[in-house]
Amino acid sequence: MDTSKVIKFDDVPLSKFHVKMTGITFAAHFTDGFSLGVIGIALTVITPQMGLSPFWQGLIGSSALLGLFLGSLILGWVSDYYGRKKIFMFNFVLIAIATALQFFVQTPEQLFILRIIIGIGLGGDYSVGHTMLAEFLPRKHRGAILGSFSVIWTFGYVLASFVGMFLHSTLGDSWRWLLVSAFPLALFVLIYRMGSPESPRWLLRQGRTEEAMAVVKKYLGDNVVLDDEKTEQQMGTFSDLFSKKLITRTLFNCIFFMCLVIPYFAIYTFLPDILKIMGLAENFTTNMLLNALLILGALLGIWWTIKFTRRGFLINSFIFLSIALFTLGMLPDSSKMLMVITFAAFTLVMSAVSNLVGVFPAESFPTDVRSSGVGLATAASRLGAAVGTFLLPMSIANLGMTYTLLWLTGTLVVGTLVSIAWAPETKSLTLSEASSINKAG
């Protein structure tokens, strides 16, 4: 090796290998968005066919999120012990099989179980997919690419609306075809993940230095070195996430993530019903316009992730979202145009700042517990989202729209306060430097 041309692992230029790893991880996130997006549309057909009560609507609507909680928590921890590669494949075996079986369900209970299994696979992929990609990407491009997860997820989520409208108008048993339409996506991801390498950072922390360097040389070049990671064997434990060194980062990632996704999933899972109650459906082509704003916001989020500090972007977004949702809850029914403008602005910023859920957790934890940390943050967020989605139909029915929006605003206020207190600044740092920060920047 020509030592004058030695390149640090965190500074290696983007290569075809990076593009491939990004592609198969993004495809998984697209499948996730699509799989979660279809259930809200499918429920509009399933509810009258199966006679679902608000309880069962909430239960089925939140079932994949409950599975995401379990999968993120358990499979993230497993991958820190047994490797990223195995879970990287196993996730989509679960997802593909359970997705296909949805076509044959006859009862709400069967659908609920299958949606939980799908969620377990998706949850495992959240923790391992983000971790795997973060551990390969150079720091110069890490924030923009990890932030782009939200864009890809949003495209999948929005595509579900278009597919739902098409199938609903052409097929009698449309909800079955809609739910199983995610199967080709899951199968595609599974096939193209075959042969993916193990994370060299993980191998290095297990003391398997020769294997780690073999992966680096094969996929990134002979002159690339892993010099910013500890080379001694080190096995982290799940309890390390609650140690004095990591507790602040653990709490920050769990709480900020949860406070963003609770209103996101609660509102957009039942968007048609919410807009109808607010009286916006007749004079505003809401579904398509808001979906377009979700995509535009996600794209803006990439730019804002590059342009602004991580910490500033998060805090200012939380403040804006809190004010917007509070305003939306307090506006009188006669203020239709102001409702539209406020809801549109809320949607745009919510989609944009959601990019950071793919960045902060992956940059916050050391290699030996990175998947566990990402998994725990994702699990906390999905548990919160599942509870919020489950409660929303009953909250609207019993408390009304105003009080429902106000308690959702409360979650955003909590996110604001936690971010001000604990959000670190990880921009432009190597992965090891970013994960060693102990306090807000």
Predicted confidence (pLDDT) per residue in 29-66, tens digit: 888 888 878 887 788 788 888 888 878 887 888 788 78
Structure confidence at residue 174 (pLDDT): 77
Return the amino acid letter for 384. Answer: G
- The three-class DSSP label of residue 435 is coil
Contacts with 422 (C-beta within 8 Å, 6 or more apart), sequence order: 248, 249, 251, 252, 439, 440
Q: What ranges in 6-53 are assigned the alpha helix state H?
A: 16-50
3-7, 251-255, 263-267: which has the minimum mean pLDDT? Answer: 3-7
Helix axes 108-136, 139-147, angle to 10 degrees: 160
**Separation CA 408–CA 263 (nearest Å):** 6
Q: Say if CB 172 and CB 334 are below 8 A apart.
A: no
Predicted confidence (pLDDT) per residue in 83-139, tens digit: 888 888 888 999 999 999 999 999 989 999 999 999 999 888 887 887 888 888 888
Predicted confidence band of residue 336 (pLDDT cuts 50, 70, 90):
confident
Helix axes 310-330, 247-269, angle to 10 degrees: 40
**Separation CA 283–CA 127 (nearest Å):** 41
Q: Which two tokens stand for residue 373?
A: 């940390």
Residue 312: alpha-carbon gap to chain centroid = 21
Predicted confidence (pLDDT) per residue in 159-204, tens digit: 887 787 777 666 557 788 888 988 998 999 899 888 888 888 888 8
Residue 321's closest CA among 356, 289, 275? 356
Dihedrals phi, psi of 148, to nearest 5 degrees: -70, -10
> Would you say the C-alpha torsion 405, 406, 408, 413 has a positive or negative sign?
positive
**Separation CA 297–CA 282 (nearest Å):** 24
Structure confidence at residue 441 (pLDDT): 41
Q: Say if CB 56 and CB 108 are below 8 A apart.
A: yes
Residue 334: CB atoms within 10 A of its CB come to 9
Return the amino acid letter for 31. Answer: T
Q: Which two tokens stand for residue 248?
A: 């602040």
Q: How many residues does the chain have?
A: 441
Maximum pairwise Cα distance, the chain? 72
Structure confidence at residue 2 (pLDDT): 44
Predicted confidence (pLDDT) per residue in 339-371, tens digit: 878 888 998 999 899 888 878 887 888 877 887
Bridge partners for 224 per DSSP: 7
DSSP 229: S
Q: Say if CB 10 and CB 430 are below 8 A apart.
A: yes
Residue 22's closest CA among 156, 160, 138? 138
Bridge partners for 8 per DSSP: 225
**Separation CA 168–CA 165 (nearest Å):** 5
Structure confidence at residue 326 (pLDDT): 92
CATH class of 3-434: mainly alpha
- Give the pLDDT mean for 391-404: 79
Return the amino acid letter for 201. Answer: R
DSSP 224: E
Q: Say if CB 144 and CB 305 are below 8 A apart.
A: yes
Q: Give residue for tokens 């048609």.
A: 272
Between vectors from CA 94 to CA 89 and to CA 95, what angle results, nearest 5°?
95
- Each domain of the chain, given as residue ranges in start order, spans 3-434
Contacts with 139 (C-beta within 8 Å, 6 or more apart), sequence order: 10, 11, 428, 429, 430, 431
Q: Is 188 exposed, middle or buried (0-12, 13-18, 19+ CB in 10 A)?
A: middle
Q: Which two tokens stand for residue 287?
A: 């579904």
